[in-house]
Amino acid sequence: MEPQTYQDQLQMFSYLKQQRDVYQGQLEYVNAILANYLNTKATLENIKEGVKVGDEILLPIGGLANIKATIKDTEKVLVAVTQDVIIEKGIDAAIEFLEKRIEQHNKEIQFIRTQLQNFEINLQKTSQLLQQGYLQK
């Protein structure tokens, strides 16, 4: 392998590694959001099936802290549709909204996993070329 080609392959390997790491970070981020959606959906389903007006619940307020709260309405939910917009929805509509988001995130996770697999394949090929070039030197 010529010196320039070897350097090109080395740069390609570095680039592929960086891109793989970016996608790996995206996968972790999207998985965390998905876990939050699944938890929220399960909570709404539990409220729908067993919580009554006046029941006391623990309300997470951040970190490891919770406060006691009393349920005033089990039929309406305030849903964040964007970072700055919150709308009121019926509990069934809120669950349906979450199901759509969960489906979107599952598709995104599948796309990211496919990209990661492609990067791994390309990294292996590039690594083999680099090893062959090193052995020929």
Domain ranges for the chain: 3-49+90-136
Write down the pLDDT at residue 124: 93
Give the per-residue pLDDT at 60: 86
Q: What angle do CA 79, 81, 86 make, to 5 degrees?
A: 55
Record the pTM.
0.80
Cα–Cα dist 89/73, whole Å:
12
Residues of the chain with pLDDT under 50: none
- The span from the CA of 120 to the CA of 111, in Å, is 14
- 107 by DSSP, 3-state: which? helix
Note the pLDDT tens digit of each residue in 101-137: 999 999 999 999 999 999 999 999 988 888 876 656 5
CATH number of 3-49+90-136: 1.10.287.370
